[in-house]
Amino acid sequence: MNTSKPEILRVLIADDHAMILEMFEQFLSGLPDFEAQTAPDLDSALAQIDNAGGFDLVLVDLDMPGMNGVAGLAKAIERNGGKPVGIITSNPTPHVVSETLAMGGAGIVLKTESLNNLTNEIRFMANGGRYVPVELIDRQRVSKPRESNGASLSEREMTVLALLAEGKPNREIGTDLGLAEATVKMHVKSICSKLGANNRTQAVIVARDHGLF
């Protein structure tokens, strides 16, 4: 009989709204494989990171005291010793999303999302994934032109690009779209070529900078 305990994910959530902190802490602490701590501002969060020797995942509010936009994210990433750090916010601009990914952030958690999705998002980011809510992708795709550097992406390429932005690997994208993994690789290569990107992560950043979604 296997009596081993589940691996505990240590999470720090920093936000200047007490109700949000209490909600996150109560929800996560009630789960067997999570240990949640909170902080009301960036300085307190950095002190807790130092005292704990880093967390499996840190989530920092974009607009709380001390952040100065994504500059605070960079500080938290540095102090967390290479472990993932992401942003909590309500309505980030495409620039904020691009900056977050460009500096190595783990992704974006929207305060408007259901708590039921939170555990999967945290596990995904804690395991090295880069999470961007599909809501942000869809919001931008509705109103922005689908061109960049004079090269137009096809409908299929836009769909693949949206799934790349969610951090999904080629195999999972293929499963979602009913495509062979080799076909997905072909689409990713075409996307990178059209956007002048060297890799899939850069393609997502370039796409956001040019308003493709």
pLDDT, tens digit, 9 for 90 and up, residues 31-77: 888 999 999 999 999 999 999 999 999 999 999 999 988 889 999 99
Q: In three state form, how does the secondary structure of 43-91 look?
A: HHHHHHHHHHCCCCEEEEECCCCCCCCCHHHHHHHHHCCCCCEEEEECC
Residues 6+ apart with CB under 8 A from 91: none
pLDDT confidence of residue 76: 96
pLDDT at 70: 87
- 23 versus 208: the higher-pLDDT residue is 23
Confidence band of 146 (pLDDT split at 50, 70, 90): very low
Strand partners, 64: none
Is residue 59 within 8 A of residue 86, CB to CB? The reply is: yes
pTM of this prediction? 0.65
pLDDT in tens, 86-132: 999 988 887 788 788 888 899 999 988 888 888 889 999 999 888 88
User: Measured between alpha carbons, how far is 6 from 8 in angstroms, rounded to an integer?
Assistant: 6
10 Å CB burial of residue 77 (0-12, 13-18, 19+) is buried
Unique residue bearing structure tokens 């690997």 = 169
Domains, in order of start, for the chain: 9-131 (3.40.50.2300), 136-209 (1.10.10.10)
Grouping H, G, I as helix, E, B as strand and the rest as coil, residue 195 is helix
Lowest mean pLDDT among 2-11, 12-21, 27-36: 2-11
